Amino acid sequence: MKDSRNSLPPAEISPKILGYFRAMEELDATDLHIKTDAITLLRVKTALRKLDEPPLDAQAVEKIIDSLLSDDQKESLTRNGNVDLAYEIPHGDRFRINIFRQRGTISLAARRVTRKIPSLAELNLPENVAPILDTDHGLILLAGPTSSGKSTTIAAMLEHINQHRHCHIVTIEDPIEYLYEDKKSLINQREIGIDVPNFTVALRSVLREDPDIILIGEMRDRETFQAALQASETGHLVFGTIHAGTAGQTVSRILDLFPHESRQLVLQSLAYNLRAIVCQKLLPCVKKGINRVPAIEILRTNPVVRDLLETGRDGELADVIRSHEADGMQNFTKSLLDLIENGMVDPKTAYAAAPNSEELKMRVKGISQSGGNIFAR
């Protein structure tokens, strides 16, 4: 699906940056970094690698930037010191680009997003992710640090719904990353700064657009999260991303957005409208053909979770996740154990990523002593 909107550069793109984008496709690189008077870098399999060419001087970088930006975007860069945009290679991949000033010069960071939306299975997500989507209302949050694959996982979730349900999906994104084709669902995608000036305006109008499902690209502030809660309370299924490491941290981060006197109402709303929190971190994979694989923590709202939220005992959520695997929950230790068992992640990598490395080591040791081969699959 070609993006024909005026978010793409109005002029002919610089052959230099186009060459970099093509190289990213060929090398399966995830990120590109251009800095004035520095060697250009590509991130391949989580590691930054220098290109075998001289550093780009200020004139060369300015030429690249000039070819990418419209007049409005150039004005935004001058005014704000940074600008976001997207570029799609014809019949190729899409690139999410941030251009910013640093120490008086210009730098560029570009994230590559492939045209094909991967399936849940192709992302190596656990089987208990798909059942989370079998609901028609409530709030589903994807949590994780920057570059943890949240956007890709949400895209896979929405594409799963697109293939299986007749509904209207409206996305509010900054910027649009994946382009969907209507299948069973009707999907409208709104890009901040292009289709609508900001999240506030988009959220104010979204309920008048007859959506069944709403994606809010990132929940950055109280107003955005409040709108998401209100939409979930009125019978819509709302997806959103948030920067947090665990389910418990996600709830804490949400509460931090609100004044102390409002937090009990927020907890009550979460108790009745939250359906799941999926926390994700990406780890290098040792299996051939797979660069990175997600470690996943899943919180599902059940009566125990609902009671903890209503009574403000969100600090106990980790214990509930650990003891309710039968309800489709799992913590990072369980996820990392599965990745080790399946031969996806090196044990040393898993131990370094584990919230409690000693607990994970004991569980791995327990499998080994019981006669199981942790590298059998």
How far apart, in whole angstroms, are the C-alpha atoms of residue 74 and residue 60?
A: 17
pLDDT at 8 over 80: no
Q: Where are the domains of the chain?
A: 15-113, 130-330
State the Cα angle at 202 between 77 and 155, rounded to 5°. Answer: 85
> Looking at residues 17-40, what average pLDDT do you find?
95
pLDDT band at 49 (very low <50, low <70, confident <90, very high): very high
pLDDT at 369 over 70: no
pLDDT band at 3 (very low <50, low <70, confident <90, very high): very low
> Looking at residues 115-119, what average pLDDT do you find?
88
pLDDT at position 375: 42
pLDDT at position 370: 55
How far CA 69 is from CA of 60, 84, 87, 114, 319, in Å, comes to 15, 10, 10, 22, 50
Report which of 92, 81, 24, 107 is spatially closest to residue 291, judged by C-alpha positions.
24
Q: Do domains 15-113 and 130-330 have the same CATH topology?
A: no
pLDDT at 373 over 60: no
pLDDT band at 217 (very low <50, low <70, confident <90, very high): confident
Q: How far is CA 88 from the centre of its chain?
A: 19
pLDDT band at 249 (very low <50, low <70, confident <90, very high): very high
CATH code linked to domain 15-113:
3.30.450.90
pLDDT at 377 over 50: no
Judged on CB neighbours under 10 Å (0-12, 13-18, 19+), 63 is: middle
SS3 242: strand
State the Cα angle at 215 between 214 and 220, rounded to 5°. Answer: 125
pLDDT at 281 over 50: yes
pLDDT at position 134: 96
| Structure-model confidence comparison of residues 286 and 176, the more confident one | 286
SS3 100: strand
pLDDT at position 35: 97
Two structure tokens written together for 77: 């860069």
pLDDT at position 194: 78
> Percentage of the chain with pLDDT > 90?
80
pLDDT at 39 over 80: yes
* DSSP string computed for 116-148: SPPPTTTTT--TTSGGGG--SSEEEEEE--TTS
Two structure tokens written together for 353: 């990523």
pLDDT at 166 over 60: yes
pLDDT at position 85: 87
The widest CA-to-CA distance across the chain, in whole angstroms, is 66
CATH entry 2.30.30.140 includes domain 130-330: no
**Minimum mean pLDDT range among 82-96, 201-215, 241-255:** 82-96
pLDDT digits (tens, 9 = 90+) for 338-368: 999 999 999 999 999 999 999 999 999 886 5
pLDDT at position 368: 55
